Structures are given as structure tokens and as C-alpha cells.
Amino acid sequence: MSDDPLYDRGMKVRREVLGDEHVERAIAATTALTQPFQDAITRFAWGDVWSRDVLDRRTRSAMTLALLAGLGRENELEMYIRAGLRNGLTAAEIGEVFLHTAVYAGLPAGNRALAIARRVLEEEQA
């Protein structure tokens, strides 16, 4: 525990959503270059936003997957697809998120995310 309640709350929620294993790996990989970024996102994304209970985590996961696909931020899709399962989305619902995304962000955005989802979901089911 640090002496910063915002950081501590963020780290707790981040572990619950992304999994202990992922967070341990991220902490172990942190360097002087990436430390300020890691700290700021723990406080803001996890301590300030994801920790609020106005929206449930399943809905937050659906929105996050839609945004990552729509904005073309492919590198975080795998991590958030696994988090989506942890937050209660089924494989079929995750596929549906990307079909829905295609309506608003164009077919290539949905198609690309669905290809990544297919691989990750097959790994999870294996």
C-alpha cells in the first residue's frame, strides 16, 4: 500500500479487471521512462474512472472494446478482450460489440477487431 488512496484504489480495481498476472508483469516491466505514465493511469483510469459504480464493469468493458476498435488502438485489444470475459461478457457478446462498432466506425475497424477477438477467444477456450 502507498500513502495515496487514489493510487491504491486504482491498483485494486486494475488488478480486478486486468488480472493479477497482467499487473505483476506490467509492474516488473516498469522503468524510469514508463513509471510516471504507469502511476498517472493507475490514478486516473483505474482510481478515478473505472472505480466509480455509476456504470457496471460489463458495460464499461463493452464501451472500451468498441472505442479501441473504432479508434484503431489495436495493441490493447487483446488485454481488454480478456478483461471483458472477466467482467462477464460472453464470447458471442464480444463478437457483437465489434459488429456494432462496424456501423459507427466502418467495416474495416470491426473486421480487424473481430479477427483479433477470434484468436484470443480461441486461446481462452483452449
**How far apart (Å, rounded) are the C-alpha atoms in residues 11 and 5?**
10
Helix (H, G, I), strand (E, B) or coil at 37: helix
Alpha helices in 19-126 (DSSP H): 20-29, 35-41, 57-71, 77-86, 91-105, 107-125
Q: How far is the CB of 45 from a second copy (least distance, A)?
A: 5
Footprint of a second copy (CB under 8 A): 6, 31-34, 36-37, 39-41, 43-45, 48-50, 52, 54-55, 58-60, 62-64, 66-68, 70-73, 75-76, 91-93, 95-112, 114-115, 117-118, 121
The residue among 19 and 30 lying less far from a second copy, judged by its C-beta, is 30
Q: Locate 13 and state its grid cell.
A: 480495481
Q: How far is the CB of 21 from a second copy (least distance, A)?
A: 18
Q: How far is the CB of 125 from a second copy (least distance, A)?
A: 11
Q: Locate 63 and state its grid cell.
A: 464501451
The residue among 12 and 112 lying less far from a second copy, judged by its C-beta, is 112
